[in-house]
Structure 1
Amino acid sequence: MMTESSSTGISRRGILKAFAATAITAAPTFANAAGFLRGAGDIRRIRMVSPRTGERLDTIYWIEGDYIKEALREISLFMRDWRTNDIRAIDIRTVDILAASHNLLDASEPYMLLSGYRSPQTNAMLRSRSRGVAKNSRHLIGEAADLRLGSRSVNQIYSAGVACGGGGVGRYSGSNFVHMDCGPVRTWGR
């Protein structure tokens, strides 16, 4: 039996609200993440801060069933490759997964964005320094983000991402971040 506040930091009430808000059967897995946002009302909001650039983002990107193009451009600019300043449109499915996970965590602080879009040059440089960087990373196509929250553990963020069932979720406990993307549903890491 789950207690009111589990060790993952996701409250029983939050999970029940999220599941009650979803009425999706036999739909593509991304629908799970979008379903969690249905309980968020008529708006969807994303809040992030970049330790690399010092920039902050707090934007409503969806109202009453419509994505706001200007807000999506703002998100893509914010999630650019900070090393090269290259910008690529961030897949809205990824934004929805991030927002749904944040809602499940019931966190008041913004995500700390460590990596969003990565240019091929940046990805190659990171691969030369670490075995943990994929050659065909979803970061290269604007479908991934590496995140952390000061008030939540890697395991809590990972659990929220997995609960959304919308894509890939990787746990990087040693580096204190979680990877989320809108690719095939899969999990990895410790």
Structure 2
Amino acid sequence: MTQESLLKFTRRGVLGAFAATALTAAPTYSNAAGFLRGGGDIRRIRMYSGRTGESIDMIYWIEGKYLKDALKEVNHFMRDWRTGTSIRMDTRTIDVMAAAHNLMDASEPYMLLSGYRSPQTNAMLRARSSGVAKKSLHMKGQAADLRMKGRSVSQIARAAASCSGGGVGRYSGSNFVHMDCGQVRTWGR
């Protein structure tokens, strides 16, 4: 192998080398609609949890392929923090979250309030609040409740709704937005 051939890197090879690590900067998507149709080369998710103190800044999709190790980390991060249990999160929800984040052109990560919820956690929350669905998509790994300090509930919800990838709920009183990959619908103020 010549020195010249060693210096030639393919785009895919370089991206693959960085895929399993948290990045401080990555290319952005051109728009959410193209992103959800499969356009773009990279999908990235950035979140932190006030409950566990953990954060994640992860490329989880490159050139048409989900990265298994990256998704395992996302699944663990989005676990039910009360029970420590996790399941495979639906990638459609992660895609909507990432596309909405990109649309807001925000550098700050989401604060994850709730990702996966075990049936026990959902029942406990339902007993405390009438706003928790009995058959919540959180229990299927298909929903997330998120907030951002630098964006309003309205801004986050508009970005998520524009993706037309599922349900978007505004919870202004509690300062968070619900995103899921269920039927396209919106609610709340």
Does TM, normalized by the shorter one, top 0.5?
Answer: yes
Shift of 1:42: 1.3
Taking the aligned partners of 1:88 and 1:176, their CA distance within structure 2 comes to: 26
SS of 2:132's equivalent? coil
Does 1:174 pair with 2:173?
yes
Indicate the RMSD between aligned Cα atoms, in angstroms. 1.5
Does 1:18 pair with 2:31?
yes
SS of 1:96's equivalent? helix
Shift of 1:18: 2.2
Counterpart residue number, 1:5: none
- Structure showing greater radius of gyration is 2
Counterpart residue number, 2:10: none
| Percent identity between the two aligned chains | 68
SS of 2:31's equivalent? helix
Does 1:125 pair with 2:124?
yes
Taking the aligned partners of 2:78 and 2:54, their CA distance within structure 1 comes to: 10
Counterpart residue number, 1:60: 59
Report Cα offsets for 1:122-168 as digits up to 9, x if no partner: 00000000000000000000000000010000000000011000000
Counterpart residue number, 1:85: 84
SS of 1:44's equivalent? strand
Superposition misfits of 4+ residues, deviation over 4 angstroms: none
Taking the aligned partners of 2:146 and 2:69, their CA distance within structure 1 comes to: 23
TM-score by structure 1 length? 0.82
Summarize the alignment of residues 1-190 of structure 1 with structure 2, pairs less than 5 Å apart: 18=31, 22=34, 34-35=36-37, 38=39, 41-190=40-189
Taking the aligned partners of 1:80 and 1:189, their CA distance within structure 2 comes to: 25
SS of 2:61's equivalent? strand
Taking the aligned partners of 1:92 and 1:137, their CA distance within structure 2 comes to: 17
* Pairs aligned (count): 161
Counterpart residue number, 1:3: none
SS of 1:187's equivalent? strand
SS of 1:48's equivalent? strand
SS of 2:117's equivalent? coil
Question: Which structure 2 segments of 5+ residues have no match?
Answer: 1-27
Taking the aligned partners of 1:132 and 1:108, their CA distance within structure 2 comes to: 30
SS of 1:171's equivalent? strand
Taking the aligned partners of 1:165 and 1:153, their CA distance within structure 2 comes to: 19
SS of 2:161's equivalent? helix
SS of 1:162's equivalent? helix
Taking the aligned partners of 1:65 and 1:150, their CA distance within structure 2 comes to: 31
Report Cα offsets for 1:87-111 as digits up to 9, x if no partner: 1110000000000000000000000
Taking the aligned partners of 2:93 and 2:71, their CA distance within structure 1 comes to: 11
Taking the aligned partners of 1:64 and 1:119, their CA distance within structure 2 comes to: 33
Q: What letter is aligned with 2:161? A: V
Q: What letter is aligned with 1:95? A: I
SS of 1:156's equivalent? helix
